Amino acid sequence: AQRHSRRVRVLKFAVPVAAALIAVAFPVYSYLAAPVSVKIQAEGTAFSNGKLVMANPKLNGFTKQKQPYSMTALRAIQDVSTQGIIELEGIDAKVPIASDNVAAVKASHGTYDRDGNTMNLTSDVTITTTDGMQAKFKSVFLDMGKGTMKTGDPVDVSRGGSRITADTMSVQDNGKILVFENKVRVNIDSAALKAAQGNSGETNAAQ
């Protein structure tokens, strides 16, 4: 293993984490370029210093699986001279990953580039799922067109007593590849892992 740049491709632990991250990140922020059928509401709009400011914008809709999702923000700010760029503050989204699993995405600030189809979340990003996964980022850059996500800041991802921390992380090929790099630390709760394997065995035996 390379000491200065350790690359870890996690197997069993990465599969549910990657699936959750991608299921949350890419659909949520691609919904910002919402079709007409998506319902968008706001409590008020105003112009300030050449910018359109929308207070408490709310976006509601349904996934392709007809499950409801929602996203709110404290403010959305759009410069009249650069209409393809939207600044969002106080982002709070809830997106279904499965029929029994919902992910909550929170971020202090984000910049959506409609033309580039990218979202840059620049501070305090957390993703929490109802089945126990939690991911914390200082920043995240998402390219919905390329199906990639990356951060050059420390990450902390945990689930079921297991945890991965690293200085950088990237997601490629729409979640098929999840890479943690630099000062990677992996802690696995052996008891939780055995319990999960036991439950899987019982499920297979019952089928």
Q: What ranges do the domains of the chain cover? A: 7-206
Residue 197, classified by CB atoms within 10 Å of its CB into exposed (0-12), middle (13-18) or buried (19+), is exposed
CATH number 2.60.450.10 is the correct assignment for the domain at 7-206: yes
Q: Which residues lie closer than 8 Å to 195 by C-beta, 6 or more apart?
A: none
Q: Which tokens go with 129? A: 């799922």
Burial class (CB in 10 A: 0-12, 13-18, 19+), 189: middle
Q: What is the pLDDT of residues 38-91, one digit of tens each?
A: 455 556 677 777 788 888 877 777 766 677 777 788 888 888 788 778 888 888
Residue 145 DSSP class: T
pLDDT of residue 174: 61
pTM here? 0.64
